[in-house]
Structure 1
Amino acid sequence: MYQSILVPVDIVEKDLTKKVLPHVEYLAKLANAKVKFFHSLPVASAIVNAYSFGFDEFKDKATVQAEKWLIELIQSIDLPKENLSYAIAFGNPRDEILTMANELQPDLIILGSRRPNISTHLLGSNASGVVRHAKTAVLVIR
């Protein structure tokens, strides 16, 4: 069934990630699938403007923190560790998820979504953007 699963997660949304994990574990166990967790670190305009003032230093600290959290997440999952990996990118989450999906070509993307509110109806959420533009199946967990 699903041989490769991409799981975008937000290190700030830990409760949402907890809701996604049982689905990931269940589906990955069915076919011994490979699972790649993915986190996109936002690039705020202030950070971009501060590029010449040590952006690489900020990037390293943010990446280290995200990497630490992803490693802890992987250690907590009841799946063979050789089937689990992670990736981190800087940029708009929706765009980076879609880029990763195009590179990885997973059979399924599993991601969490909060309940829609007025801002997501006007601007669109990351989950809805992934659903609209992904070239593969997407499972959205609420």
Structure 2
Amino acid sequence: MYTTILVPIDLEEDELTHNALQHAVQLAKASGATLHLFHALPDASAFMSAYSFGIKEFENQAVVKANEVLKALVAKTGLPVEHVHYSVSFGSPRDETLQLAQEIGADLIVVGSRRPNVKTYLLGSNAAAIVRHATTTVLVVR
């Protein structure tokens, strides 16, 4: 069925993460797929250029924290360690997710989404952007 499942994780959205991860783990167990958890950090240089002192330390701390959270999520999956990977990068969640999906050959992206509100109608959501631009199957979990 699936061989590689990519799950973009928003570390600030516990409920979305839980719901998406729960579905992705069930699909990975059923198909023997590899699961790849991923978090995109905002590009700190884009909004801190005027305050560039200590930017590398800020970025390093953000990466360490994100890796710790993802590692804890990996442990909760109940999947064999060799079937679960995780990574962190800097950039827009949409662009980084789509690029990583191609790099790892993901045949499914499982993304959490909340009910649309005025903000998402005006600006759009990451989940909607991923669905619009993905070249592979996307499962949106609410």
Report TM bin, short chain: over 0.9
Offset of residue 79 of structure 1: 1.1
Q: Decide whether the 8 Å contact of 2:6 with 2:101 is kept in 1.
A: yes
Unaligned ranges ≥5, structure 2: none
Report the equivalent of 2:111. Answer: 111
Offset of residue 118 of structure 1: 1.1
**1:47 has 2:48 as partner:** yes
Deviations 1:17-42 (Å, cap 9, x if unpaired)?
11112211110011210010000011
Report the equivalent of 1:12. Answer: 12
Distance 1:120 1:87 in 2: 26
**1:133 has 2:133 as partner:** yes
Offset of residue 43 of structure 1: 2.5
Deviations 1:34-59 (Å, cap 9, x if unpaired)?
010000011254324433x1211111
Offset of residue 134 of structure 1: 0.3
Q: Identity across aligned pairs (percent)?
A: 48
Distance 2:101 2:9 in 1: 14
Distance 1:48 1:140 in 2: 35
- 1:119 and 1:27, CA in 2 relative to 1: closer, same or farther beyond 3 A? same
Offset of residue 105 of structure 1: 1.9
Tell me the SS of whatever aligns to 2:77. coil
Kindly report which structure 2 residues correspond to 1:69-84, keeping only aligned pairs within 5 A, or say none: 69-84=69-84
Distance 2:31 2:22 in 1: 15
TM-score by length of 2: 0.94
Unaligned ranges ≥5, structure 1: none
Kindly report which structure 2 residues correspond to 1:78-97, keeping only aligned pairs within 5 A, or say none: 78-97=78-97
What is the one-letter code of the residue matched to 1:47? M
When the two chains are superposed, the root-mean-square deviation of aligned CA atoms in Å is 1.2
Tell me the SS of whatever aligns to 1:76. helix
How many residue pairs were aligned? 141
Offset of residue 111 of structure 1: 0.7
Offset of residue 7 of structure 1: 0.4
TM-score by length of 1: 0.94
- 1:48 and 1:14, CA in 2 relative to 1: closer, same or farther beyond 3 A? farther
Tell me the SS of whatever aligns to 2:115. coil
